[in-house]
Amino acid sequence: MMLQIGDQFDRYQIRSHMAQGGMADIYRAYDLMSGREVVLKVPNQMMIGDPALYERFQRELEVTNNLQHPAVQRGLGSGQYNRTPYLVTEFVEGQALRQIIEKEAPLTPERAVDLTRKIAEGMAYCHEHDVIHRDLKPENVLVSKDGQPVILDFGLALTRSARRVTYANLTPTAGTPDYMSPEQIEGQRGDARSDIYAVGIMLYEMLCGCAPYSGDTAMAVMAQHVQGNAPRADQTRPGISLTLTAIIARCMQRNPDDRYQTMRALMHDLDHLDSVDTSVLNKAPRSAAAPFWRSQAFIAVVISALVMIAIVLFALAVQGLR
């Protein structure tokens, strides 16, 4: 169900369509009762019957309602209208970090460090309240007009009480390939260090103007996370300091034990660039993951491909009988 500008959905009047994802449409709306601008998230019709979708909606509502931090988008409520569930969150005037990177990257070290430090502070708060985001990426960070990053979309968040949920009942692998940690790619649930890995990639992208890994397919990108060697930031973009290169490298270690263990530790190094330990740049990366072809992510991709092939062959067969 695509809502149009001016439509009324429950007590909300649609002002604009902000984004369309694989699971939901996101609108800027006006709350007719409170008189304030809000963000309205409405699931795609084809996904409404998916139990995993409902779980994600409930999880995001629980997380955003319980977290109160300037760097975390606040939840305002939820409801159901014409048998369609929806979420309401605060509206933040600003632009996505993805837009900033596309328009302005490479960012100056000062700005990249400032944004990363504020994101890390928000995520430190989340981790200390037993919430792991698991899908940090520039699209899920909104930067307000005053320069405050606000972390969005906690639909994949892991909380202490959360059960394991699959997307469309296919695979427990959670995240976005460009920013997924090796352990997430292997099908593990991930922990705070998985978010640290993603923050390191975002810092790399802000400074270099591109993600560290690229490929023609999601599987190719995921394989590089598990088995490839991340390019050094100062080699991708000469002029980046050794200390920032080391911070990124420590965040992006394949083995979670070799990364920063907390966001607070990452924040400390961002605050004390003159005393960062750069020895991580001299160490060979250790892998904590099995070969990618044995991973659940690989199996899920293969199954998806086989299903699509079967659908196409069936359609061709039916067409041939006509």
Furthest C-alpha separation in the chain: 73
Residue whose token pair is 């041939």: 320
Q: What is the DSSP letter of 180?
A: -
d(CA 16, CA 60): 22
Q: Which amino acid is at 136?
A: L
From the list 135, 195, 234, 269, the catalytic residue is 135
d(CA 57, CA 79): 11
Euclidean distance between the first and the last CA atom of the chain, given in angstroms as a whole number: 33
- Catalytic, 25? Answer no
What phi-psi label fits residue 163: left (phi over 0), alpha (psi between -120 and 50 degrees) or beta? beta
d(CA 120, CA 124): 6
**40 closest CA partner among 80, 12, 73:** 12
d(CA 223, CA 198): 16
Distances (CA, A) of 174 to 45, 133, 184, 190, 317: 22, 10, 7, 9, 35
**151 closest CA partner among 105, 119, 196:** 119
Contact indicator for 187, 297 with CB cutoff of 8 Å:
yes
Active site residues: 135
